[in-house]
A = this chain, B = another copy of it.
Amino acid sequence: HLTGIVSLRDLVISSTETTMGEIMTRDVVYVYTYAGQEEVARMIQRYDFLAVPVVDREQRLVGIVTVDDVIDILEQEATEDMYAVGGGVQSEGDNYFQTNLFTVARRRVVWLFVLLLTNTVTGTIIKSQESILQQVVALAAFIPLLTGTGGNVGAQSSTVVIRGLNTDEIRDLGPGQVIWREALAGLLLGVILGTMATGWAYWLQGDFSVALSVGVSLIAIALLASIAGSALPFLFRHLGLDPALMSAPFITTVVDVLGVLIYFNIAKSVLGL
């Protein structure tokens, strides 16, 4: 059984008559054999430990985790998160650049396929609005701008929330506060970008109604994207899914599908179609 720890420093400075029982620390921080590696790594990081003892269910000492293991664990977790956020690449702990090409393709194709499906939904929506598009072909030129910018705003929100959840930066704020903050930021960004987009669309197209539709849609889409981008990671964590891997496809779908619908409906009323 683990009863205490003695540091080498204490051992050196204590007199030769002192017993171990007198100098040891009884109030030991330890982890169980079934603790997750990231949880242990975070504990060592937070308290600046050099090592933590590992005990089994009966509190018998079975090993230690040292600080140099922790660096590798946190590095690996960061790589996994970055691969997931940056493009849904499934990391399996090995070196990507020494992995077989077909394994690489298999790991990447799943996410690309999911996003292909979400893009087909967007395509179907655009197709269903073909009669409006036929009347005002000019509207088509601004679809990539709106869905692209919406996707970028959403990606920013989800990235900071996912990283915040994983590094405990977010600890003091509840989901409600975080989403509210992101919504305000999204609205602010939407107004700035919407103003610019209106000016640019007017310059390109020479039609103020189309330009206004683009600008107003961008404000609505930026707001929507930042709410979806900050709320979905909390939802996925709550459901026990990995937010880093799940967020991007769902945010893209929400932003693209609702974004195109918002755009065509705003255009319909502004243009009086």
- Contacts from A to B (Cβ < 8 Å): 8-9, 11-12, 44-45, 48, 50, 67-68, 70-72, 74-75, 78-79, 81-83, 85-89, 95-97, 101-102, 104-105, 108-109, 111-113, 115-116, 119-120, 122-124, 126-127, 130, 133-134, 137-138, 140-145, 147-149, 152-153, 155-160, 162-164, 167, 169-170, 172-173, 178, 181, 184-185, 188-189, 192-193, 196-197, 200, 204-205, 252, 256
Contact = CB atoms under 8 A, between A and B. Distances in A.
What is the count of identical protomers in the complex?
A: 2
Given A8-B9, A68-B67, A115-B148, A185 B105 contact: yes
A42 to B, nearest CB: 10
B156 A141 contact: no
B71 A144 contact: no
B141 A126 contact: yes
A97 to B, nearest CB: 6
Given A120-B145, A120-B200, A192-B109, A82 B78 contact: yes
A148 B184 CA distance: 27
Given A71-B74, A82-B159, A88-B156, 17 more contacts: A50-B67, A67-B71, A70-B71, A74-B78, A86-B156, A86-B158, A87-B156, A87-B157, A95-B169, A96-B164, A102-B188, A104-B185, A108-B185, A116-B193, A120-B200, A123-B145, A127-B205
B79 A204 contact: no
Contacts of A50: 50, 67
Given A67-B71, A101-B181, A144 B156 contact: no
B133 A116 contact: no
Interface centre among A71, A113, A144, A162 (most CB of B within 10 A): A144
Contacts of A116: 145, 149, 193, 196-197
Which 9 pairs across A and B sit closest by C-beta, in order of nearness? Answer: A86-B159, A87-B156, A78-B78, A119-B145, A48-B68, A87-B155, A85-B86, A123-B141, A126-B141
Given A112-B193, A149-B112, A185-B108, A163 B256 contact: no
Contacts of A160: 83, 87, 89, 96-97
A158 B120 CA distance: 24
